Amino acid sequence: MRQSERLEEALGPGVSLGRGRQGMTHGFVLAADPDRPPAGLDHAVYAIGNFDGLHLGHQAVVKRAVALANERRAASALLTFEPHPADFFAGRPVAFRLTPTDVKAPLCERMGLKALVALTFDATLATKTAEEFVAEVLVARLHVGAVVIGWDFHFGKGRSGHPAFLAEAGARYGFAVEIVDKVEDGDGGAAHAVSSTAIRRALERGDVKAAAKGLGRPYAVLGRVAEGQRLGRKLGVPTANIVLEPTNRLAHGVYAVRARVDGAWLPAVASFGVRPTVDNGAPLLEVHLLNFEGDLYGREMEVAFIDRIREERKFDSLPSLTAEMRGDIDRARSILAGAS
């Protein structure tokens, strides 16, 4: 998917956003590969990074960028890159994305940023030296007034650019640079820096509570409800089926979740996996909304994972599976009743 297409998804239906163009939704600016500062962003304060997950460490960078922008009476924006650099260098999607652009944009808006600017990570950008990135992108194209970065931010060919280099470059080119220290996820000697890698590893083992601790919110996915085999309906447990990205490596299993439909968050139970009792098919997220009746096909749904109930396993018969599903529903109700 092209960068402009990812941003079109975030903007909503009826919006066309090409390379070098921008759009707006509810006053929030989205821009792809701008050649000049997007409207209202001349001398803006930019939080720069990949920001996959927008976890607590990223949030500290964003909060400082918003505060600094307020101090300077300037706009604040997130500058990020698509596709994920790992995908570009591999030549195919390989990164387990915590927050694709269509999820990242609304999160940015809720955090107080005024815009999201995305640059296509391609051969041209990948081969720019750190000095070229500063001079050609930050200064010539974006006219940055200030930038805020994390303590471990690197950029430029071979990741040669680092916080100290950017601070020195800012002094030469006339823009301010602030570096935010790492955020840790524990207390005392057991503390570790919050990172997207650690959060991915937690999700890969099904520990969605640990992932939520690093993210500062439950891990969530966004998708459109697709047609399925309607087996759940036949078993008395109808499900809304969502196909996740092939690179999603959430551990297969059954989870207590909350699902957002038409702006309302509803209690639910979800199974993610290959359905070994039925067909051992492609991975699928199947969501059963508690106390809900209605047709969800074709509608967008966000699913937030609260806790894992059990691993995925094969049952001897459909009646055995159905009995376990009833137990899963009861356990989900209990978990969600006690969750804040």
Query: How far is Cα of residue 220 from the mean position of the Cα atoms in its chain?
Result: 8
The letter for the amino acid at 237 is: V
Which pairs with CB-CB distance under 8 Å and at least 24 residues apart come from 7-13? 7/31, 7/32, 7/101, 7/105, 7/118, 9/101, 9/102, 10/101, 10/102, 10/104, 10/105, 10/106, 10/116
Could you give the 3-state DSSP secondary structure of residue 208?
helix
Q: How far apart are alpha carbons 271 and 263 in whole angstroms? A: 22
147 forms beta bridges with 46, 177
Q: What is the DSSP letter of 158?
A: G
* Residue 2: closest CA among 80, 82, 81: 82
> Which of 131, 286, 300, 302 is an active site residue?
286
In angstroms, what CA-CA distances link 235 with 95, 232, 296, 310, 321?
36, 5, 18, 20, 9
Asked if 195 and 56 count as a contact pair (C-beta separation under 8 A), the reply is no
Could you give the 3-state DSSP secondary structure of residue 113?
coil
Q: How far apart are alpha carbons 4 and 89 in whole angstroms? A: 20
Does the active-site annotation cover 286? yes
Q: Which residues are catalytic?
A: 286
